[in-house]
Amino acid sequence: MHATLPHVHIMHADPVMTAGLHALLAEHGGFTLTTQSRQPHAQGQAHVLVTDHDTGIALARQLAGERFRATPRVLIVTQLDKEWQVRTAMDSGVHGYLLQNCAADELARAVHQLGMGMRYLSEAVTRCVADSLSREMLTGRETDVLQLLARGCCNKSIARELGIGVGTVKTHVKGLMSKLDATARTHAVVVAAQRGLIGAGARPLAPLPGRQARAAAPRPRHPVLQ
């Protein structure tokens, strides 16, 4: 009897990536290949799902709740290589993570390993995860505060936006600065951007839209009669 070939279903959001992944795996051989665009029904029979970052996370979370049947393994192929992006994927239950610039042989090796029920992380991703494990992760609320810091919000604005007290905001700011080993609020935003915890294009302490206009608006000299 011939062994059943691993069924690989490609459902990458980028059509060009889908075509490239299909071509590389077809050239390597040893797989049954389908794509979401042509055979969407084949997803349910696949052993390995090859996806983009967002699709992979959504699928992994969905599959984690299916405890009564064998579920496919999820392999993300992406250009996203920041610590937070990788950790979010792995914490969501993704089984493999590859960068788009990987070699064709590595792609095939990763698919084979997932097809055998194993996990696979590229070398660069492995280093990223290893480095992140040595650091204390930010809590969800600390991340919320950090995002608002990057937008230039003061403690009062953050408190109002999140519906918490100013004292609580100060506690979160102190905690996130300690975890990021930052010496100032601006420094915390820069470090967070470098680690991928916020968008790399974020401008530290940039004013929120409309704040300057409101600040510059002249105040009436006399109270307005109602």
pLDDT of residue 53: 96
161 shares a domain with 85: no
pLDDT of residue 88: 83
Name the strands in the sheet holding 96-99, side by side, starting at the edge strand that comes first in the sequence: 32-35, 7-10, 48-51, 73-78, 96-99, 120-121
Kindly state whether residue 213 falls inside one of the protein's structural domains: no
81 shares a domain with 150: no
CATH number at residue 121: 3.40.50.2300
Whether the CB-CB separation of 169 and 189 falls below 8 Å is answered with no
* CA 47/CA 43 separation, integer angstroms: 9
Kindly state whether residue 224 falls inside one of the protein's structural domains: no
pLDDT of residue 127: 75
Strand (E) positions, the chain?
7-10, 32-35, 48-51, 73-78, 96-99, 120-121
85 shares a domain with 189: no
The total number of structural domains that make up the chain? 2
Kindly state whether residue 215 falls inside one of the protein's structural domains: no
What is the residue whose two structure tokens read 């991928």? 196
CATH number at residue 169: 1.10.10.10
Kindly state whether residue 124 falls inside one of the protein's structural domains: yes
Q: How many CA atoms lie within 13 A of 190 on its CB side?
A: 7
pLDDT of residue 21: 97
127 shares a domain with 66: yes
Kindly state whether residue 1 falls inside one of the protein's structural domains: no
pLDDT of residue 133: 61
144 shares a domain with 129: no
The length of the chain is: 226
pLDDT of residue 134: 60
pLDDT of residue 216: 40
Alpha-carbon torsion angle 197, 55, 97, 28, nearest 10: -150
Q: What is the mean pLDDT of each run of 10 residues along the chain (226 residues)?
A: 79 96 95 96 95 95 79 94 82 93 94 94 79 72 92 94 95 93 91 76 42 41 37
Kindly state whether residue 123 falls inside one of the protein's structural domains: yes
Kindly state whether residue 18 falls inside one of the protein's structural domains: yes
Question: Domain residues for 168?
Answer: 140-208
Kindly state whether residue 64 falls inside one of the protein's structural domains: yes
67 shares a domain with 29: yes
